Structure formats: C-alpha cells, structure tokens
Structure 1
Amino acid sequence: MDVAIAGGFERFYEVLRRLTPRSELSLTAASTLRRLERSGPHRLCELHVPEGVSQPAMTQLVTRLEKEGLASRGSDPDDGRAVVVTITEAGREAVAKRREGRTRALSALLEQLPAEDHAAIVAALPALERLGELITEQSI
C-alpha cells in the first residue's frame, strides 16, 4: 500500500510540474519565494535545509532573487551579523502569477473529472495541507 501511495504522489507531482507555467524562476527559487511569502522573513542560513540545497547555493539564489527585485536582504534585528531575507512586492507578484497559471490549468483538468472524483480531491485537501505542514516542520 505504501508503494502505491508514494507512486500516486509522484505521478501527481509530475502533473503539477507540467501544469506550472514556464518562467524564469527555477523550482527552488519559486519554492523559496513561496516559503518567504507564507512564513515571513527567514535568516539566510535557515533557508537552505528545507529547500534541499547547500548554503552556498542558497546564498547564490538569494543574490539572484535580490538582483531581480524579488527578495531583499537585511540585518537581523536580534543579531546584526545574521542576514534576513524578505520577499518583496515583486516577489509576491511573481508567486501569484505562477499560482494563477497553475490554477487555470488545474481547473481545466478538474472540470473533466466526474463530480465524485472532484469532491474526493476537495475532501482530501485539508489532510494534504496537514501533511505539508508536517513536512515543513520536519524540514524534510
């Protein structure tokens, strides 16, 4: 049963990736911006683990996001040596645009499903949200 569940998630992940509009943002850049949007500013050193990249790679990514105006860096008010990364309004707009494109594509697919399947997906969303929270908390 666990293999079937994992396979189902893999297939759904593939579908979501294909539904995501192509843009200049890499998957890691988009995920980092979503994390900053959802959870607020983060220390630079805290971002690399949940995103699954090295600290130097995250530093490079944040530098690029900053150059593109999608994120900004500042000093941590509690520790001036630490760098805090914040999403900018342009970053929020980039995340929203990406989400809107995926929403349109996903909506078109959902309309093709029988009502029972559509209802089952909607009913599963709270559990999937809780699963996502567990993954975030555990930094998997």
Structure 2
Amino acid sequence: MSLTSAATLATLDRTGPRRITHLAAVEGVTQPAMTALVRVMEESGLVERRGDAADKRVTLVCLTEAGASYVRTRRRAGVQAFERLIGELADDEVEALVAALPALKHLEELESREREGTQR
C-alpha cells in the first residue's frame, strides 16, 4: 500500500468521513489523484462512498470495517516496533524521551489544530 493510501486511511480513522476534495488537500495531492486513490481503496474494500445526510449533493468517503482494521493493525505494528527499539536504549536516553513527551504532545495538538483549520 502506498504511503498516501495509508495516510488517507489514517485521516479517515481520525476525522471520520470526508469529501474527496478535503482528503486531497490534507494529503497534498490533486483531486483527480485522490479520486483515483479512493477508487482503488474502494475496490479493495477499505473505504466506501456515502451520501451526506446534511447535504444530498455531497458524497463522503468513509472507512469500512476492513479499513479500520488495517489502520489498527498498522498502528499496533508501529507501537511494537518502537517498544522493541526503546528497549535497546540506555536508561538516560529513555529518560530523555520521557522528558520530551509533553513537548511531543503539544506538537500533536498544534498539528491537530492546523489540520482542523484546513477542514473549514
């Protein structure tokens, strides 16, 4: 799976159903490229298109259970890889990581606010 496909699935998992134009903007690709990507992921059973109850003219891309399962599996694999690697660090290096956690959490919050700003 391409990085853009995986990132798009993760975006849908985090934010819920989105328009193709929004997904294209978030992932930094053209709308036609995102349309093609969504078509491939739809054929693979990872996403589906649904009408928006609030606006009948809008079609939203939604994660399927298979898509959500894929995202969970990737996240678990990433966590396990980090756990293994952190286990190889010296104690002072682990302490440095722990000390950096508040700043990393703040970065995540800033990124989330920025992402929300692009959705409007």
| TM-score scaled by length of structure 2 | 0.84
Task: State whether structure 2 residue 18 is matched by structure 1 residue 42.
Answer: yes
Q: 1:118 to 1:41 in 2, by over 3 A?
A: same
- Runs of at least 5 residues in structure 1 that lack an aligned partner in the other structure: 1-24
Alpha-carbon distance in structure 1 between the residues aligned to 2:2 and 2:105: 23
Task: State whether structure 2 residue 52 is matched by structure 1 residue 64.
Answer: no
Q: 1:50 to 1:80 in 2, by over 3 A?
A: same
Residue in 2 aligned with 1:12? Answer: none
Alpha-carbon distance in structure 1 between the residues aligned to 2:112 and 2:27: 10
Residue in 1 aligned with 2:108? Answer: 132
Residue in 2 aligned with 1:98? Answer: 74
1:17-58 deviations in whole A, cap 9, x for unaligned? xxxxxxxx2111111111111111112221111101111111
Aligned pair count reads 116
Q: 1:122 to 1:71 in 2, by over 3 A?
A: farther
Aligned 8 A contact 1:43 1:76 in 2: no
Q: What SS class does the counterpart of residue 58 from structure 2 fall into? A: strand
- Runs of at least 5 residues in structure 2 that lack an aligned partner in the other structure: none
Shift, 1:122, TM fit: 3.2
Alpha-carbon distance in structure 2 between the residues aligned to 1:104 and 1:84: 33
Q: 1:80 to 1:136 in 2, by over 3 A?
A: same
Aligned 8 A contact 1:41 1:85 in 2: yes
Alpha-carbon distance in structure 1 between the residues aligned to 2:102 and 2:63: 26
Alpha-carbon distance in structure 1 between the residues aligned to 2:67 and 2:9: 7
Alpha-carbon distance in structure 2 between the residues aligned to 1:49 and 1:136: 15
Which segment is superposed worse, 59-68 or 124-133?
A: 124-133
List structure 1 runs of 4+ shifted beyond 4 angstroms.
none
Identity of aligned residues (%): 44
Shift, 1:136, TM fit: 4.2
TM-align CA RMSD: 1.8
Task: State whether structure 2 residue 97 is matched by structure 1 residue 121.
Answer: yes
Alpha-carbon distance in structure 1 between the residues aligned to 2:77 and 2:4: 18
